Chain A
Amino acid sequence: MKDLSKDILELIRRTSTDLPADVETRLIAARDNEASGSAARSAMDTILANVEMTRRDSTPICQDTGTPIFFVKIPDKWNPRDLRGWIRDAVAEATRLTYLRPNAVDSLNGRNTGNNLGSKHFPTIHFEETDSETLTIDLILKGGGCENVGAQYSLPDDRLKAGRDLEGVRRVALDAVNRAQGEGCAPGFLGIAIGGDRGTGFIASKEVLLHKTDEKNPDPQLAALEEKITGEANQLGIGPMGFGGSSTILGTRVTSEYRLPASYFVTVSYMCWAFRRRRMTVEGDQITYQ
């Protein structure tokens, strides 16, 4: 099969420098919602000016280009070993070209590899087999500020009076948003997984972030919960950059996974306003980017 490393490099460039249109639309609406002359509004103006600038200049939206998280849907005819190699080559090249900051640090001696290549989980690559002929590669760049405030709750949670039901999910989600202030850059987005084990819960809470922010959840129960969480999170008044204001969360996506009888995890991944997400599709010779 054709070597895709150059095409994956282009996927990384677009992800780091060109914010998706659906995210930008939400940011513009958030700006218009803040009182004129407020620090919140001025922060949103700066954010939007930066988005425009990086798209034009092909420079990183945020200097923390984060953990590159790849989700690959792979048809039988492609070899995951090839893809892993191309992805790693592309990541190193993107770092050299300053689309990515060197972010892979050895936890024992503090040494930065300088090229974003660490052990097998850095960059993160998830493979999933598909019956389709089409290869898709999704990429999320998730910075450390918002990753640090990701939270996992084991229900029931007595402190928050959160039981094993959707009301419990609502309660812990709002707690997570309140705790994220001052760390993840608001206004942000939430990916929430109900169920799973501790590991799959976190993976699923990130995978739901692949949905476009204007895509409705097909499960009406979850769609209603998402709207409720977003609406109530905005009543917290944290606002852009935590300056106070009406926009704290611009979208929530919830997924439900299977769990053990003994476990009921709710995992919240917080994505900052710099919601860097792009998809590359390979169909025959045709490569498209979304």
Chain B
Amino acid sequence: MEIHLSLPLPDEAVQDLKVGDSILLSGIMVTGRDAAHKWLADNFIHPKAPPSGEDKQVFESLREILSGSAIYHCGPVVAGLDTKQYRFVAAGPTTSIREEPYQGDVMKLFNLKAVIGKGGMGSRTLQACRDLPGVYLHAIGGAASLIARSVQEVLGVYKLEFGVPEAMWVIRIQDFPAVVTMDAHGNSLHDAVREYSTSELDRLLQ
């Protein structure tokens, strides 16, 4: 049975989730991937110079939306670019591990309760999930049109100058399907599968 969850997520709901739970997520969240995470790290986590006024404004708006909410590793296909009547056509997850150097800090920066992507993340993100608390939610890679159906509305976009895939899209979702693969108690399905596959590989290469 799927667990229905609404963003923003209360801590108790996050604590209750465990690896293997199937969920359907609703509410408002933001997409963000490689360029967004690097921009956040360079300007707000380890800034070498104070951020520009415009960037600061974007950051403040994001902070309001993201507190208690989720960031989605996704570079969508978007229709309506010419009219700005944006609509998600295809919106599956991208590989999350590339954000591992930044993710824990970004979670803390925004008080994120969920990170959504594919393939899982590493020990620093797992630790941040314990600290906050937070969870990592795995969406089905490649199931892009099916997932796009759960995106009810595009509410806005930040940093479109990064390009369509890399921009931060604010979206309202309804029953977005995902599986908990890293929970707030230090468990990671990915660690378990990797441990097994690596021992099998050793056996096959004996």
Structural contact, B140 and A175, CB atoms closer than 8 A = no
B77: CB under 8 A from chain A?
yes
Structural contact, A112 and B163, CB atoms closer than 8 A = yes
Segment touching B, from A118-126, A178-186, A189-197, A259-267 = A178-186
Structural contact, B205 and A160, CB atoms closer than 8 A = yes
A20: CB under 8 A from chain B?
no
- Give chain B nearest CB distance to A226 CB in angstroms: 16
B165: CB under 8 A from chain A?
yes
- Give chain B nearest CB distance to A153 CB in angstroms: 13
Segment touching A, from B56-64, B127-135, B186-194 = B186-194
Structural contact, A98 and B79, CB atoms closer than 8 A = yes
Structural contact, B163 and A102, CB atoms closer than 8 A = yes
A140: CB under 8 A from chain B?
no
Restricting to B66-115, which residues have a CB under 8 Å from any CB of A? 74-79, 89-92, 94-95, 97
Structural contact, A54 and B145, CB atoms closer than 8 A = yes
- Give chain B nearest CB distance to A267 CB in angstroms: 19
In the bound assembly, the distance between CA atoms of A97 and B143 in angstroms comes to 20
Which A residues are CB-close (under 8 A) to B20?
Answer: 39
Structural contact, B163 and A111, CB atoms closer than 8 A = yes
- Give chain B nearest CB distance to A9 CB in angstroms: 16
- Please, what's the 1-or-0 string for B115-139, where 1 marks a CB less than 8 Å from any CB in chain A? 0001110000000000000000010
Q: Give B78's nearest chain A residue, CB to CB.
A: A98
Q: Give B192's nearest chain A residue, CB to CB.
A: A244
B141: CB under 8 A from chain A?
yes
Q: Give A171's nearest chain B residue, CB to CB.
A: B205
Which B residues are CB-close (under 8 A) to A54?
Answer: 144-145
B14: CB under 8 A from chain A?
no
Q: Give A106's nearest chain B residue, CB to CB.
A: B163
Q: Give B181's nearest chain A residue, CB to CB.
A: A243
In the bound assembly, the distance between CA atoms of A43 and B118 in angstroms comes to 12
Structural contact, B141 and A178, CB atoms closer than 8 A = no
Structural contact, A46 and B97, CB atoms closer than 8 A = no
Which B residues are CB-close (under 8 A) to A178?
Answer: 197-198, 201
Choose among A57, A105, A185 the residue that contacts B118 (Cβ–Cβ < 8 A): A185
Interface residue range, chain A: 35 or more
Interface centre among A49, A60, A174, A244 (most CB of B within 10 A): A60
Structural contact, B204 and A174, CB atoms closer than 8 A = yes
Structural contact, B162 and A110, CB atoms closer than 8 A = yes
Structural contact, A237 and B95, CB atoms closer than 8 A = no
Choose among B144, B162, B200 the residue that contacts A235 (Cβ–Cβ < 8 A): B200
Which A residues are CB-close (under 8 A) to B75?
Answer: 63-64, 101
- Please, what's the 1-or-0 string for A54-97, where 1 marks a CB less than 8 Å from any CB in chain B? 10010111111100000000000000000000000000000000
Q: Give A54's nearest chain B residue, CB to CB.
A: B145
Choose among B142, B190, B200 the residue that contacts A185 (Cβ–Cβ < 8 A): B142
Structural contact, A182 and B145, CB atoms closer than 8 A = no
A11: CB under 8 A from chain B?
no
Q: A178-B198, A241-B118 are in contact. Are A232 and B204 (CB under 8 A)?
A: yes
- Please, what's the 1-or-0 string for B157-190, where 1 marks a CB less than 8 Å from any CB in chain A? 0000011111000000000010101000000011
Structural contact, B142 and A61, CB atoms closer than 8 A = yes
B43: CB under 8 A from chain A?
no
Question: What residues of chain B have their CB less than 8 Å away from a CB belonging to chain A?
Answer: 20, 22, 35, 74-79, 89-92, 94-95, 97, 118-120, 138, 140-148, 162-166, 177, 179, 181, 189-190, 192-194, 196-198, 200-201, 204-205
Question: What residues of chain A have their CB less than 8 Å away from a CB belonging to chain B?
Answer: 39, 42-43, 46-47, 49-50, 53-54, 57, 59-65, 98, 100-103, 105, 110-112, 114, 143-145, 148, 160-161, 171, 174-175, 178, 181-183, 185, 232, 235-239, 241-244, 272-274
- In the complex, besides A42-B22, A185-B141, A273-B142, 4 extra interface pairs with C-beta distance below 8 angstroms are A98-B90, A103-B165, A144-B95, A241-B141
The 3 closest A-B pairs by CB, nearest first: A112-B163, A182-B119, A185-B141
Q: Give 15 A-B contacts (CB < 8 Å), ordered by A residue.
A: A42-B179, A46-B140, A46-B177, A47-B143, A49-B146, A50-B140, A63-B74, A64-B75, A65-B77, A111-B163, A148-B95, A178-B197, A237-B197, A244-B192, A272-B142
